Structure 1
Amino acid sequence: MSVKATRTGIVLRPDPARVLFRPFELGNSSRVLKIIARVNSLTEDEVQQKLDEVIREFGSRHYRLNNFFLKRFDQVKEQLLTDEPLTDERKLLLGAYFTMEYSLESAALFNPSMIWHPDQSNLPEGYKRFILSLRATGEGHISSISFRTGYVDGEGKIVLQKPSRYVTSPEAIVSQQFDKAQFVRKLYELRLINSISENILAGLPDEFTLPNIEAQVKRVMSQFRHNAEYEAVTSGLLALARSNYEMHFDDDQNLDERCIFPYSPNETNGIEDARFVEFRDDDGEVTYYATYTAYNGRVTFPQLLETKDFTHFAVSTLNGAEVQNKGMALFPRKINGRYATLSRQDGENIYLMYSDDLYFWQTKEILAKPTFPWEYVQLGNCGSPIETEAGWLVLSHGVGPMRKYAIGAFLLDLNDPSKVIGRTKEPLLSPDQNEREGYVPNVVYSCGGQIHGNTLIIPYAMSDYASSFATVNVDELLAELTGKELVRQPVAVV
């Protein structure tokens, strides 16, 4: 009999009360001018009265709201008709008129990825603290990355911490320096190399900044102002540059108050399905990476998120001929001196890729094809491989009749992951009657689990709406995958 997962009964539903502030963009300069004029027609007493009302209603719902109001004022002040100085209260009120609340998870909270927390201090014996990242979807079906924290106790019980009601997205800073040679390589992949882009690139040094390329675009713009091809090329160049950026959260913010909201042009319709992994380099240094899909409403772009502390993040484009489609998932360490990742370039099969450079992927080899009836439509990974003494344990998803998604597993050789040791012939987890209804019916899906003791913990989404956890006995699963009972080595008592 095949191994089956056990549901925990935990359900993590979207909470519409978790709101963050965002710029309220009108997209019409004449309307902006009219709003500024109306606010400036108020007396100082009227300004103070309205500002007090705004603070009473929204101040307790957000973290450092006044700072954002002043930032928004700075962004629209160029529309002021005179240099007449304004009071701080009027600046704050003007900023409030160009700010909006956004409920980041009002529609869904799904596709979770679980990693162990960097801080494991002050815990009872046998306990382990974790971070859960989730795809939060709100108004306009825009997806962002939200976080939760919790712990697993000595008996394997999963406890989620109640999140703060405050949520904040950080200010993004576009990368300070770009390597021209790498930039050109990516432009070739995007088919953006032509006489126009070459003209722009010719005036750039070997190391350049965003202001450098923006100035070059303006210079060439005078020659191709009404050229439709120019518009497409220059927007592509600037979008690529703005897709490499950094974010910094305040140290005093709880992790569950931090939200990674779309910033670059390639992310305008969302950041999807981040697969986090704790990567340990050859020297023992740990970096947390997440491969995710940026979506601009037309095209998907695989991207890389990295952090040491979940306070400072860097976002980079992934490059190379084989950076395609969705579902890239990094191994947690190098294999035989090279980076390795699972992928799904053709939307159907699972591939294995190696690279000497984390940001460039040029070759692939097929690893697994849909083989069993529950996965005949497509096969994909459900997060980064987990290292066990028997091999690399990989959670997979398969799609069968009626586009039903289920979760299975396969095992890869530790030294040569191209060798598949075994696969589950039946799913570990399929949607039951309580999980079939949602934004996308009949789906269970994960972006990465963990092993605690002898328990595999699978966080999973239910029909692209809410999330839950299931568990599997590791010994039983590995026995099924290897075809033999696993004999654990006794632990020496010190």
Structure 2
Amino acid sequence: MKRGHILSDKIVLSPVDIDLSRCPIHVKTGLETFILGAFNPGMTRLGNGNLLLMVRVAEAIREPIKEGRFRFIRWSAPDHYIVEEHPTYQLDTSDPRKFRFLEYEHIRVFGLTSFSWLLPVELSPDGLTVQKIHYDKIIEPAASYQEYGIEDPRITKIGPDYYMTTCSVSSERHSTTLYHSHDGLNYTLKGIIMDHQNKDMVLFPQKINGTYYALTRPLGELYFTTGSEGNILPGPSINLSESPDLYHWKPVENVFMPARRDTLISYKLGAGAPPLATDQGWLCLFHGVEKHGTVGKYRTFYAILDRHHPEKIITLNDTSPVLEADPSLTAFLSDWIYLTDVVFTTGVEEDEGRLIVASGELDLACRMTHLDRSFFEKRVKSK
């Protein structure tokens, strides 16, 4: 049964909707590949009123293990894909999304079971119907720091222009990169804006007191224990950064949004949709992860920030999820499912008193949800 604030809920795009004959790895290598997932879409509204999803498509080799060796894809300049191989006995493959190279004892080194590129998909204004899949505008790697793919786009319209942050994956670094567009559909890579292992970066849609702001989520191998007198948990957190130009970023130094004890977020959290301006403040939908199995249980929560001082949290709800994975939505994809308990919200738009929310479901498909806007308005309170 749907919760009262959910007005409608639908899977609008899944691997069954992707034309493999137009997918870049299959086309350029001749390999037999398949679509592992079409998910975690950035979202914006185009000038014609339609919604645009920038979908992360994970393309994988149909037969990854051959003669005792695991095969995976790497991109190489100027524009081709290479098949790499590695003995299976030297790999830890317990996580279906990535594998670990066991011969490196002093550090953790990973590879990916699939290769991600970006596909623009145009939807109806309410986000519930696919109008056009723009295969001619696929975004593939263009630099060595994208040799293992482009992941998890987030789109923010600032003034007349569109800016898209992505995670670019390579052996060089795991960085955040910026794309720019004049129309929301055609994007140009502008380069790295956040260096090693900074994920889930979302931009605010306007300057605040003359400064650009963004939510970030730096990662690392080393965390220190927190004090016993507080309720903060060590580990990845949502941070706040500021910039004069969208290219050079300085972290805001106060502790912003960490995981806390006695909540449903016991593992990690990260920014979700770009902040949305409301009368109550900046509405921020974010994901929180509870320890559960190999991957964890991903849910969507929310915070409301002060409109003029985004470092001030007015409301923080990390105990009652806005969205959870819904098995009824993906029942028709039962043969494709390889994860459970994952919803990963990546975009939100306003529409006639409701909110249209875009999410990735199970790292598999694109979920579009209409939410009752008053759900958030009734819950504003001091932190």
What is the TM-score of this pair, normalised by structure 1? 0.56
- How big is the shift at 1:379? 1.4
C-alpha separation in 1, matches of 2:357 and 2:43: 8
Structure 1 gap segments, 5+ residues each: 25-61, 63-98, 121-128, 165-254, 281-285, 484-494
1:263 pairs with 2:162: no
C-alpha separation in 2, matches of 1:107 and 1:421: 39
Aligned to 1:89: none
1:401 pairs with 2:291: yes
Aligned to 1:363: 251
Taking only aligned residues, the RMSD between alpha carbons, in angstroms, comes to 2.7
Q: Deviations over 1:240-279 (max 9, x none)?
A: xxxxxxxxxxxxxxx4542101221111111000100111
- How big is the shift at 1:482? 3.6
Contact 1:399 1:406 in 2 (8 A): yes
C-alpha separation in 2, matches of 1:143 and 1:260: 10
Quick one: structure 1 residues 416 and 264, their matched pair in 2 at CA, closer, same or farther if it must change by over 3 Å?
same
C-alpha separation in 2, matches of 1:448 and 1:463: 16
C-alpha separation in 2, matches of 1:276 and 1:104: 28
The correspondence of residues 205-354 of structure 1 with structure 2, limited to 5 A, is 255=134, 257-280=136-159, 286-297=160-171, 299-310=173-184, 312-319=186-193, 324-346=197-219, 348-354=236-242
Of 433, 451, 459 in structure 1, the residue corresponding to residue 327 of structure 2 is: 433
- How big is the shift at 1:340? 0.6
Provide the secondary structure at the position in 1 that maps to 2:346: coil
Quick one: structure 1 residues 319 and 477, their matched pair in 2 at CA, closer, same or farther if it must change by over 3 Å?
closer
Q: Deviations over 1:419-461 (max 9, x none)?
A: 1111223001111334597343321002211111211111111
Aligned to 2:11: 10
The correspondence of residues 35-434 of structure 1 with structure 2, limited to 5 A, is 99-100=28-29, 106-120=35-49, 129-139=50-60, 140=73, 141-152=114-125, 158-164=127-133, 255=134, 257-280=136-159, 286-297=160-171, 299-310=173-184, 312-319=186-193, 324-346=197-219, 348-365=236-253, 366-371=255-260, 372-402=262-292, 403-424=296-317, 425-434=319-328
C-alpha separation in 1, matches of 2:32 and 2:119: 12
C-alpha separation in 1, matches of 2:348 and 2:308: 22
C-alpha separation in 2, matches of 1:295 and 1:9: 30
What is the TM-score of this pair, normalised by structure 2? 0.71
C-alpha separation in 2, matches of 1:307 and 1:150: 18
Contact 2:161 2:184 in 1 (8 A): no
The one-letter code sitting in structure 2 at the alignment partner of 1:20 is R
Contact 1:163 1:256 in 2 (8 A): no
Identical counterparts, % of pairs: 25
The one-letter code sitting in structure 1 at the alignment partner of 2:44 is I
* Structure 1 or 2: more strand by fraction: 2
Provide the secondary structure at the position in 1 that maps to 2:357: strand
- How big is the shift at 1:475? 1.6
Structure 2 gap segments, 5+ residues each: 61-72, 74-113, 220-234
Task: Name the larger-Rg structure.
Answer: 1
